[in-house]
């Protein structure tokens, strides 16, 4: 009889130890994932928190953004990086990135006026960017004919 109780106790102890080991391993893997988040990931994640904010020509605050005011604000708040005020000047910064090599947080640039760089958004992954459009801050597909026809290039500001 004592052996049966001992076996049950040891089975219970093994179950508890296994459960604790799984708990600790999952806690440490969560911390490793958080530590692996790049600055670009932080930029893209912060930008997403501003979805729905209104458009305002010349706007640089949550009361209303224009395209470059949005990217300037997001970079300053999320990773403490300073960007120039205009889309054209932002296009002069960072490292050029091929379309196929885009990562979250990269800036994507467009010629919406047909002449020069006039719009910028933040790449969020899956061929999508977030930006301050005339309809407010929203996620857009880069595969839409409108955006494809006006694409100029991309820049990586942070790694």
pLDDT in tens, 109-154: 999 998 899 999 999 999 999 999 999 999 999 999 999 999 999 9
pLDDT given for residue 114 in this prediction? 85
Model pTM?
Answer: 0.78
Residue 6 has pLDDT above 60, yes or no: no
Sequence-ordered strand ranges (E) for 4-143: 60-61, 64-65, 95-97, 107-110, 119-125, 128-133, 136-141
Counted domains in the chain: 2
Within this chain, do residues 59 and 2 fall inside the same structural domain, yes or no? no
Q: Are 72 and 60 in contact (CB under 8 A)?
A: yes
pLDDT given for residue 19 in this prediction? 46
Give the whole-number percent of the chain exceeding pLDDT 90. 75
Within this chain, do residues 32 and 44 fall inside the same structural domain, yes or no? no
Within this chain, do residues 46 and 84 fall inside the same structural domain, yes or no? yes
């Amino acid at each position: 009889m004592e052996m049966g109780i001992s076996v049950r106790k040891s089975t219970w102890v093994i179950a508890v130890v296994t459960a604790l080991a799984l708990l600790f391993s999952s806690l440490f893997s969560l911390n490793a994932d958080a530590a692996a988040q790049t600055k670009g990931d932080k930029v893209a994640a912060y930008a997403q928190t501003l979805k729905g904010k209104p458009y305002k020509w010349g706007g640089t605050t949550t009361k209303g953004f224009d395209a470059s005011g949005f990217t300037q604000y997001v970079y300053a708040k999320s990773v403490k990086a300073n960007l120039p005020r205009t889309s054209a000047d932002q296009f002069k910064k960072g490292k050029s990135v091929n379309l196929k090599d885009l990562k979250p947080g990269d800036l994507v640039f467009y010629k919406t006026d047909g002449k020069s760089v006039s719009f910028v958004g933040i790449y969020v992954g899956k061929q999508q960017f977030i930006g301050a459009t005339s309809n407010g801050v929203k996620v857009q597909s880069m595969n839409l004919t409108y955006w494809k026809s006006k694409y100029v290039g991309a820049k990586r500001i942070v790694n």
